[in-house]
Chains A and B, each alone.
Chain A
Amino acid sequence: MPDDGPDLWHPTDDDTVETAEAAYNDYTLLKSELMSLYDEFDKLTKKAPNNRLSPLALETVNALIGDAKALLGGDRYVDRVSQFVAAGETPQNSDVLLVLATLVKALARFREVWWHIWDDLEIT
Chain B
Amino acid sequence: MRFDVALGLELNRFEVDFHIPQLEQDARLALDPFLMFKSRHDRYVEWHAKLLRYWDHVLDLVRAGSTEEATETLVNPEPKEIRLGYVSDGAGGSGIGREIARDVVDLLSSNDVLLDRGLRHLEELQLYAVGIGADRLSDLTANVLKTDLIRYTAEQADLWGIPLIDDVGLKHAWHHEDGEWVDLVTPLPLDPDTGAPVVVVPRRVLRRLPWINYDDFRDHYLLGFLEGRVSRVPSQKRRVVELTRADLGLVDRYVDEKEARAVEAAPLDLDDRDKSTIERDAADLEKELAELTSGASNAKAYEALCLRILNSSLEPELIDGRPQQRTYEGTQIRDLIFVNDSDHTFWSYVRTEHKSFLVTFEIKNKDKLDPADLNQLHAYLGDATGYLGFLISRNGFTATDYKRAMTLYNKRTPHSVILGLSDQDLVDLVRWRKTPNGPSERLREIYRDFLTALQ
Contact = CB atoms under 8 A, between A and B. Distances in A.
A89 B346 contact: yes
Given A82-B455, A83-B455, A88 B448 contact: no
28 contacts: A82-B452, A82-B455, A83-B452, A83-B455, A85-B447, A85-B448, A85-B451, A85-B452, A86-B349, A87-B346, A87-B349, A87-B350, A87-B444, A87-B447, A87-B448, A87-B451, A88-B344, A88-B345, A88-B346, A88-B347, A88-B348, A88-B349, A88-B350, A88-B444, A89-B345, A89-B346, A89-B349, A89-B444
A83 B451 CA distance: 10
A88 B344 CA distance: 8
Given A82-B452, A83-B452, A89-B346, 16 more contacts: A83-B455, A85-B447, A85-B451, A86-B349, A87-B346, A87-B349, A87-B350, A87-B444, A87-B448, A87-B451, A88-B344, A88-B346, A88-B348, A88-B350, A89-B349, A89-B444
Interface string A44-87: 00000000000000000000000000000000000000110111
Interface in B401-455: 444, 447-448, 451-452, 455
Contacts of B346: 87-89
B253 to A, nearest CB: 30
Interface string B342-358: 00111111100000000
Q: How large is the interface on B (under 10, 10 to 19, 20 to 34, 35 or more residues)?
A: 10 to 19
Q: Main secondary structure on chain B at its contact with chain A?
A: helix
Contacts of B451: 85, 87
Interface residues of A, number: 7
Contacts of A82: 452, 455
Contacts of A89: 345-346, 349, 444
Interface in B333-382: 344-350
Question: Lowest 10 A-B CB distances belong to which pairs?
Answer: A88-B349, A88-B345, A85-B451, A85-B448, A82-B452, A88-B346, A89-B345, A87-B444, A87-B447, A82-B455
Interface string B44-88: 000000000000000000000000000000000000000000000
A49 to B, nearest CB: 18
Contacts of B448: 85, 87
A83 B448 CA distance: 10
Contacts of B447: 85, 87
Task: Give the residue among B344, B348, B350, B448 with the most A Cβ atoms within 10 A.
Answer: B448
A117 B345 CA distance: 50
A82 to B, nearest CB: 5
A89 B349 CA distance: 9
Interface in B125-176: none
Contacts of A87: 346, 349-350, 444, 447-448, 451
